[in-house]
Amino acid sequence: MSEAAAFAGAGVFVTGASRGLGRTVAESFAAEQARVGIGYRTRRGEAEETLKLVEAVGGTGALLQFDVRDLSAVKHAVEEFERGGSLDVLVNNAGIVSDQFFATLDAGEWNRVVETNLTGTFHCCRAVVPSMMVRKQGSIINVTSIAAIRASPGQANYAAAKAGVVGLTTTLAVELAPSGIRVNAVIPGLFSTGMGTRLDRRIADRYQAAIPLARFGKTGELAAAIKFLASPDASYIVGHCLVVDGGLSL
């Protein structure tokens, strides 16, 4: 089955889709004629740009503004998207960082990062699972981080949250597989957007030297991995955390 046949008309809900990886993922599914829910919190202008890109490649899109930390708001956004058709794929991409060394880490920043990256993922999964269970099908892809499996000084809050997403992924995979719902995750390394662009040049060079492929990843490469896990080609893959890092974790 071709990817075009796999995603034509499918409902794909992407959180954190106003820019970066989320935008690339939304555009990638749209190129296969999917109907894409573009989740965002505050960046309306950037979300509208994502919508233009989605439509330009042949997909249809809907702008959905909500905060993943608010379960009622998440449920409302999911219900709004499902009024236009089924929700077949959820990509949990929304996330934030707030880097501080542990000795000075403020409890408020710990909570904000954990609530967004981990609890937000729970909220989104919780909102989409009921309808997926009724239809006996669906795919959930959680975006975690190499920080979940490799020490990342200054990111205790982020690492703990993303490691929690790994645990959530494997547990949900076992619970939901009998209902026809596949849950998997991707573990990105360093990419040319997001955290990779905020690194000091000297630090970035040091990280790049440690990557066997000797370069940062491209968002399209990560989007391709996500689309694979969501596709029928991965129909026998559940609870897998696919590392996409150019070998950095080896």
Collect the ranges in the chain with pLDDT lower than 70: 1-5, 194-202
Quote the tokens at residue 50: 């994502």
| Residue pLDDT, tens place only, 79-89 | 999 999 999 99
Structural domain of residue 203, as residue ranges? 3-244
249 inside domain: no
pLDDT at 199: 58
pTM of the model: 0.93
Who's near 109: CB < 8 A, 6+ residues apart? 98, 100, 157
The CATH number given to whatever domain includes residue 64 is: 3.40.50.720
Cα gap 53→38, rounded to integer Å: 11
pLDDT digit string (tens) for 122-149?
999 999 999 999 999 999 999 999 999 9
Residue 236 a catalytic site member: no
Residue 188 bridge partners (DSSP): 244
The number of domains in the chain is: 1
Q: Which of 241, 226, 233 is nearest to 169 (CA)?
A: 241
Does residue 214 lie within any of the structural domains? yes
Quick one: pLDDT at residue 1?
Answer: 38
Among 216, 223, 235, CA closest to 25: 223
What does the angle CA 17 – CA 13 – CA 62 come to, to the nearest 5 degrees?
Answer: 75
Q: Residue 199 falls within a domain, yes or no?
A: yes
250 occurs within a structural domain: no
In this structure, is residue 8 part of a structural domain?
yes
Residues 6+ apart with CB under 8 A from 27: 50, 53, 54, 57, 59, 223
